[in-house]
Chains A and B, each alone.
Chain A
Amino acid sequence: MTQPTPPTHRGSLERREAKLAYVMLIPTFLIVFSIVLGPLLANFWISTKPVELGDLRSARVMVNESIRPRPAAAGDEVMVRYRVRNSSQTEPITGATLTDTLPAGLVIGAAPAGCSVSGQTVSCDFGTLDPKQRFDVMVPVTVQQAYLDNGIRPRDDKAVTTGRSQNVLTSLEFTTENFRKVFDGAEFWTVLRVSLYYTIFGTVGALVLGLFAAQLLNTAFKGRNILRGLFLFPYVAPVIAVAFAWVLLLDAGPGGTFNAMLIQMGVTDGPINFLGQRAVPFTVLGLTFEFPLALTTVIAFEAWRYFPLSFLFILARMQSVGGEMYEAAEIDGATPFQQFWSISLPQLMGILAVLFLLRFIWTFNKFDDIFLLTGGAAGTRTLTVDVYEQAFALSNLGAGAAVAVVVFVVLLFFALIFFKFSPQDDG
C-alpha cells in the first residue's frame, strides 16, 4: 500500500481561487499604486529637476481673436486679427499651428503668409515660436448682410492651436542642485532638530495624557460615557476648527482670551505671544537658557489633540485585564501606586510600545497642525512644513521634492525600527 502524499502541484481549484483573489485586489492595487506609490517614486524624479511652480503650466500657443474695425454695413472690408503668443518665458514651441472657422457672412480675402483658406476655415502653420514671442496674423474679410443679421461673431468659435514644447519634468536633464540647496543651509539641521523634538515630546505627551485619562475613566461611575465622549472631541473635530480655536484662544493681540485670563489673574503683566515668540530666556543658577515657547505650544496642541487616541487604546487594554491580580496584590498589602507600577504598567507595556511607535511615525508625518497654528514660523518649522515652504511658498517644486525625499528616508528608517521591534500581532 502506498503512503498518501500531499499534491505537489497546484490544482485547478487552487488556481481559480488565486485568480479570483487577484481580480478582487486589482482595483485596490491600481489606485494605491497610482496615487500613493507612484507619487512616492515620482518625488525622487522631481527632486533631481530644476522645476519651479510656474513650469507646471507648460508652454502653449495663446491666441486672442478680434474683428476690427467694427463692421457697420454690408460690403465693409475689415480684418480678423489673431494675436498669437507663446505663453512661456523660457521654452520655445515647435510645430505651432492655428485653425479657426469664421462665421457665415464673412468672405475671406487673400490668405496671409503661412496660412491657407478652405471655405470658412483658416489654417496657419507658424513653425517654431520663440519664448515670449508674439505677433499678429491679419485675415482680410468682406462683410455681408448675413453676418450683420445672424449675430455670430468670430470670437464665439474658439481658435484651435497646437504645438509641442519641452516639459522640464519629462526632460532627461538631472541636477543635484535641489539637494545641495536643502542640505547647505544651517537651517536644515534646525528643521530636523525641531522635527525630532516635536515628534518625541508630542508623542510622549499624548501617551502620558492618554494614560492619565484612562486611569480616570477606568472605574465605573455615573456620567462616565459622557466624559468618554467629551474626551474624544479633540480627535474627532476637524483640525481646522480646533486649530483656529486655539489660535484665537492664545492670541496675543487685543481679544485674546487666554492672555486676558492670565493678566486678570496676575500671572503675567503683558500678553504672552504663545504662537509667535520663538524663545523665552530664563536664568537658573546664573545660566541663561532659552525656552522654545512656540514649539512648546504646538507640542501641547499635538498632545491635546491626540491624547484621545492613546486614551481609547489604553482604556480598552486596561479593561481586558482581570481583577484577580489586583485582588491578590491587595491581600499582599500592595499600595495603589505599587499596584499601578507593578501590575498595570507592565500589562500596558505592549500597547504603550505599539502606540508609541505608530504615534511617533504619525506625529513625524504631521503637517496640518503646525501649518495652521504657526505656519512654521517662530522656530516651529518641521520637515513636513519645510516641504510646503520650499515647494509652494518659495515656488521651488524641486527643492520641496528633495525635502520630501528626506522625509521619506527618515520615515523608512523609523519604519524599519518599528517592524524590528513590533511584537507579532499585537495592538
Chain B
Amino acid sequence: MQFGAVTIWGMVVGAIWGAVWMVVIGVLLMLVSGLVVQPPVSFALGLGLVLALASFWVKTRWTGRTALLILCAAAFVGLMAITLGQPFGVGLGAKPIYQIAAALVFSAALGASVHLGLDGYTGATVSRYRFELLVLRLLKGLGFVIFTIVVALPFYVMVMTSLKSQQTLLANPLDFSIDLTQGGASLFRSYIELFTQYHFGTFLMNTAIVSVFTVVITLAFAIPGAYAVARLRFKGQAFLSRSILLIYMVPAIVLVIPLYAVFSQAGLRNSLTGLLVVYPATTIPVALYMLQGYFRGLPSELEEAGLMDGLSRIGVILKITLPLSLPALASVALYVFMIAWNEFLFAFMFLDDLDMFTLSRGVVSLNSSEVPRQHLMAGAVIATVPVLVLFLWFERFLVSGLTAGSVKG
C-alpha cells in the first residue's frame, strides 16, 4: 500500500460511513425490535476510519469478493471488540437475535461501503479528477441512504402505527415491532373498527364514485375541447392554447368562498353532486392541455385520409384519433383520478354529513383527541393504498402523465 492524500481522505470516508451506518442500523434496530439501544456512534466512526486504512492494505493482498468478505468480517470483529460485546450499547442478552442480525448488517454495510467507496484507490495521492470521483461516490452513497430513509420513514411509521395500540406507543414510541402471534383480528383491529364503526366503507365508496365520475366527466369535456384546440382552425385558437395554462394557476382557496356561498344557497354544498361539479372544473383545463399536446403530435394525414374516405369529424375522432391516443388518455385518466382521490380542500369545506364524506374528509374527522391515533393512521393507510397500488401498477402511464401536464400540485 502507498501513503498519500487519499490515505487521509479514505479514512474520512470510512469514518463518515461508520457513523452513518451506526445511526441508521441503530434506529432501524430500535424500530423493528422495540429494544431501547444507545448506538455508539463515535466508536463506529473510529471503526470506519481504521477499516478504511486497513482496506488499503487488504487490497494489496486480496482482490474482489475475497477482499470484501475480509473487510466485512473485520468490521464485525472490530465492532464486537471495540464495544466490548455490546454492539449497540446494551447487553447482548436482550433480544440477542435482533442485535446479532443488526451487527451483521452493520458490518456488511460498512465493509461494502468502504470497499466500494475506495475501490481502485491505493492510498497514494491522485489527480483532481480521481479525487472528485472519490467524493462523488461518497455523496451518491449517502444520497441513496438518506433519500430512501427520508422518503420511506413517514410511510413506515404510518403503516406500523396503524397496527399498534395507543398504550404501547405511548410507553415506547420507538417500538414498532409487530407481535405476529396475536392473530389477524387483533393485529388489524384499527382497520376493522374503521370499517365497522367509523363508516369507512361508505367513505371508500364515496371516494371511488367521485373519482371515477370525475375522470369520466373530465374526459367527456376535455376530449372534444382538446381536439378543437389542436386540430380545428378558429378565431382565438392560439390564445386558447396558451391561456388554458393560466386557469390552472388559480388557487382553489380563492374559489372556495364564492362557491361555498352559492352552493349553500343552491343546496349543492353537502352533496357528492357538488363535488362532481367542482372537481371536473378544476381538472378539465389540465386534461385539455395534456390532450391537445398529444393530439398535435399525431400525424394529421391519417385523419385527412379518414375525411377523404367519407368519415365525419366525429367519426374521425372516434375511429382514428381516440384509438391512437389511448396511452395519453390513460395518463390523463390516471392523473385526474389521482387528483380527485387526493383532493382535500373542497371535500373538507363542502361535506358535513357522514354519509357524504370522502376519505380525505373522513380521515380529517379522525384527527381528534377522542380517536386513538392508530385509527388515524389506519385511515391514512386506507386512503393511500388504492392510489399507490394504482400508481405502481400503471407507473409508466402515470409518470408520463405527470411530466406531460403537471407542474400542478
Contact = CB atoms under 8 A, between A and B. Distances in A.
A58 B128 CA distance: 76
Interface string B380-407: 1101100110011001001100110011
A58 B265 contact: yes
A227 B133 CA distance: 23
Nearest to B38: A264
Interface string A231-265: 11111111111101110110000111101110011
A401 B364 CA distance: 25
Interface string A382-425: 00100110011000010011001001100100010000000000
Nearest to B254: A404
Interface in B277-307: 277-278, 280-282, 284-285, 288
A36 B279 CA distance: 11
Interface string A10-33: 000010011011101101100110
B253 A365 contact: yes
Nearest to B174: A260
A239 B251 contact: no
Contact of B234 (A18, A27, A257, A362): A18
Q: Tell me what chain B mostly uses at the interface: helix, strand, loop, or mixed.
A: helix
A58 B264 CA distance: 10
B359 A238 contact: yes
Interface in A339-368: 354-355, 358-359, 361-362, 364-365, 367-368
Given A21-B234, A27-B221, A248 B278 contact: no
B222 A39 contact: no
B254 A238 contact: no
A231 B147 contact: yes
Given A18-B234, A21-B237, A229-B395, A28 B288 contact: yes
A114 interface: no
B19 to A, nearest CB: 11
A35 B255 contact: yes
A259 B281 CA distance: 43
Contacts of A237: 155, 342, 384, 387-388
Contacts of B288: 28
Contacts of B155: 233, 237, 242, 245
Contact of B132 (A57, A212, A216, A336): A336
Contact of B251 (A215, A234, A235, A411): A411
A101 B254 CA distance: 46
Interface stretch (A40-48, A66-74, A285-293): A40-48
A198 interface: no
A67 B158 CA distance: 57
B58 interface: no
Q: How large is the interface on A (under 10, 10 to 19, 20 to 34, 35 or more residues)?
A: 35 or more
A90 to B, nearest CB: 17
B315 interface: no
Nearest to A234: B151
A312 interface: yes
A213 interface: yes
A162 to B, nearest CB: 16
B129 interface: yes
B225 A238 contact: no
Given A237-B155, A241-B384, A257-B174, A39 B254 contact: yes
Counting from the closest, the 4 A-B pairs by CB-CB distance are A35-B281, A365-B251, A241-B380, A39-B258
Given A248-B376, A367-B253, 20 more contacts: A18-B234, A31-B277, A215-B143, A230-B148, A231-B147, A232-B395, A236-B398, A237-B342, A240-B380, A240-B383, A242-B155, A248-B377, A265-B41, A312-B399, A312-B402, A337-B136, A359-B407, A365-B251, A365-B253, A411-B250
5 contacts: A28-B225, A31-B221, A42-B261, A264-B174, A312-B403
